[in-house]
Structure 1
Amino acid sequence: MDVPGWVWAITVGAILLMLAVDYVGHVRSPHEPTLRESAWWSAGYVGIALLFGVVVWAAAGSTYGGEYFAGYITEKSLSIDNLFVFVLIMASFRVPRLYQQKVLLIGITIALVLRTVFIFVGAAFIERFSAIFYLFGAFLLYTAWAQIRSGREDEGEYKENAVLRLTRRVFRTTDDYVEDKMVVRRDGQRLITPMLIVMVAIGTADIIFAVDSIPAIFGLTQETYLVFAANAFSLLGLRQLFFLIDGLLDKLVYLSYGLGAILGFIGVKLVIHALHTNELPFINGGEHVTAVPEISTPVSLGFILVTLLVTTLLSLRRTRLDATASALEHASAQEARLGAHLDAPVDGPADPHVDAPADRQEPRA
């Protein structure tokens, strides 16, 4: 896919414009977004991403269009997993709800810049060393196994990464938030606030996820332009998505298993592709291995969509069953307490007019 420079320029310009709209129109005046606002903006960003895919499909053909959609859906689903960590980070740093939009937007901007670097480095490696597909595939298979094995057990507590610990060690920090300021001056000294630290936490945490998602999307398309666009569009709507599904994240109890299945599938696809482009002398004498057919883009897209659908439906069913069981258990406990109260003996003196002995006489005046 030969993408002219002017197409790159228009795409990057559109992404910068959307970021500018977010910075000027949303976070400049701190406020807590409503569910309606988050829903409309989330739908708008998804609509732009889908429209971009339609343009790619019409201009470059169904192959590249399908690769973009598969990559975008995969990146979007993996970004939902990022939100679990974002929730933990926000809770750990006790970020006021009023300023969470700004934290997310700047953190996502940092992540977008760093991911772009990762993408171009990965593309350069792929162009020079086709054997890297073996490494990508093996890494994704390991990641899939680890995620399925651990489920959601590792998401109960946020742990600071090395970048964040270094930031705390090098710079003087305030103990509390100063509105939405990142740097303040006190007693002639310049101090950073928890607002800046939590932004670094969001940005660097997303880079950890990029270690999984970048190899995954390269397993669906090797076109650098499509990889960049899919990543950018999946990240741009993440802020609105956070506020839209913040209360629904706990209901997606099987999401880790679904994402593990997708990563494992793409890992297998990468290994098969590596065999088809094999140049390693100790594998088939350095010749290509074509006995196993490659997995097509429509099959990949179908597997991703079906896995996400099944994961969501099973998660909602499990949540509903757990809620019903909890309600029944609560009702049984209340019934047991009521029964125990009714069966308990009545303490205290009896009514003298009812229980007094018959031969007992009242004293005379």
Structure 2
Amino acid sequence: MLEVSALAWFATVGLVVLLLAVDLALAAWRPHRVGFKEAVAWSVFYILVAVAFGVVFTMIAGGEYGTEFFAGYIVEKSLSVDNLFVFVIIMTTFAVPEKHQHKVLTFGIVLALIMRAIFIIVGAALLNLFSVMFLLFGILLVFTAVQLFRHRDEEPDIEDNGVVKLARRMFPISDEYHGGKLFARLDGKRVATPLFLVLVAIGGIDLLFALDSIPAVFGVTEEPFIVFAANAFALLGLRALYFLVKGLLDRLVYLSTGLAIILAFIGAKLILHWAHVDISPSVPEIPTPVSLGVIVVILAVVTIASLVKTRNDPSATAKPGSLRAAKPKSEQD
């Protein structure tokens, strides 16, 4: 069991909050279109921060826990790319001006971190109380993997999201962004702006992704500190990564398939762990170094295959995948 001092928790959370504060300050102080060079610089910075944390953590906690951190970080980073797909769809659906996209993404990251922190606390408590939760988490991931694979060539219907529908019923929505405000007065009435609806949509999507990503990283490590750190450092660079790769996302045509395979693999790992603990020690487990190697190989194969596919067939376009089939046009109207 990993012993983590209160000071280590405080320092880690403090670093994450500091980096988030810088992001929020930049978004509020200078709304602007983030260029390629700026996105590259921030992406490299956040990756280096995560690597530096992982190296220091490995030196202090040992190679086994260090491997778990890097495995968890890679899992969460790969799942966060799927987040980016959906963020692009949301931005496009609601025609978010580029100068406000920075603010929206930072809000999405903050909300995602809060939701994941809640799920980590609840998940860790459940795993400590009931070993059968490994089985339930494993089944959840396998089910998610099957659904994602079945609907890998579809896009989630943002307007059909329950949270977005509820927001539309509760508030009148204006057609203008009103300088980036969430609410404005129109003809004497208080109305919500499209930016408010965008934040609601991203909040709903963050909740769905938290339901998948937390069981996935618990499949790599049972340590709450590592789960939190892996999630936090993977999400911190999401804003910069969005502006860096949003023009390249369309080329990752096999990403959804790769993520489905990774989720199924981690789900199987959790189920085997449950069987090893609750049924018989003779049931084999999958070591973390093996998990890390499998995940890296899958991501490498998916990336290379996607680039080859799009080079040979320029008309091929990636889809983020969905957990359910899209409704026919007749049902949406």
Q: Quote the residue 1:168 is aligned against.
A: 168
SS of structure 1 residue aligned to 2:184: strand
Provide the rounded CA distance (Å) in 2 between the counterparts of 1:6 and 1:235: 22
Q: Quote the residue 2:78 is aligned against.
A: 77
Tell me: higher relative CO, structure 1 or 2? Use CA pairs within 8 A at least 6 residues apart. 2
Q: Quote the residue 1:198 is aligned against.
A: 198
Q: Quote the residue 2:277 is aligned against.
A: 277
8 Å CA contact 2:176, 2:194 repeated in 1:
yes
Provide the rounded CA distance (Å) in 2 between the counterparts of 1:324 and 1:79: 25
Q: Deviations over 1:17-39 (max 9, x none)?
A: 00111111244211001000000
Q: Deviations over 1:163-214 (max 9, x none)?
A: 2221221123322110111122345543321112101211220211111111
The Cα shift of 1:156 comes to 6.6
Q: Quote the residue 2:183 is aligned against.
A: 183
The Cα shift of 1:160 comes to 3.6
SS of structure 2 residue aligned to 1:155: coil
Q: Deviations over 1:210-268 (max 9, x none)?
A: 11111110010010011011111111111111110001001000001111111111111
Q: Quote the residue 1:234 is aligned against.
A: 234
Q: Quote the residue 1:145 is aligned against.
A: 146
Q: Quote the residue 2:300 is aligned against.
A: 309
Instruction: Tell me if 1:37 matches 2:38.
Output: yes
The Cα shift of 1:72 comes to 0.5
Over the aligned positions, Cα root-mean-square deviation in angstroms equals 1.6
Provide the rounded CA distance (Å) in 2 between the counterparts of 1:20 and 1:274: 40
Q: Quote the residue 2:210 is aligned against.
A: 210
Instruction: Tell me if 1:57 matches 2:58.
Output: yes
8 Å CA contact 2:182, 2:193 repeated in 1:
yes
Provide the rounded CA distance (Å) in 1 between the counterparts of 2:85 and 2:309: 19
Q: Quote the residue 2:155 is aligned against.
A: 155
Provide the rounded CA distance (Å) in 2 between the counterparts of 1:31 and 1:63: 43
8 Å CA contact 1:251, 1:319 repeated in 2:
yes
Q: Quote the residue 1:25 is aligned against.
A: 26
The Cα shift of 1:12 comes to 0.9
SS of structure 1 residue aligned to 2:119: helix
8 Å CA contact 2:252, 2:307 repeated in 1:
yes
Q: Quote the residue 1:249 is aligned against.
A: 249
8 Å CA contact 1:173, 1:191 repeated in 2:
yes
Provide the rounded CA distance (Å) in 1 between the counterparts of 2:77 and 2:166: 30
The Cα shift of 1:323 comes to 2.8
Provide the rounded CA distance (Å) in 1 between the counterparts of 2:217 and 2:138: 11
Provide the rounded CA distance (Å) in 1 between the counterparts of 2:118 and 2:283: 33
Aligned residues: 315
SS of structure 1 residue aligned to 2:60: helix
Q: Quote the residue 2:323 is aligned against.
A: none
- Which shifted more, 44-53 or 190-199? 190-199
Provide the rounded CA distance (Å) in 2 between the counterparts of 1:158 and 1:186: 26
Provide the rounded CA distance (Å) in 2 between the counterparts of 1:168 and 1:157: 15
Give the 3 Å change call, closer, same or farther, for CA 101–160 of structure 1 in structure 2.
farther
User: Greater Rg, structure 1 or structure 2?
Assistant: 1
The Cα shift of 1:97 comes to 1.3
Letter in 1 for 2:127: I
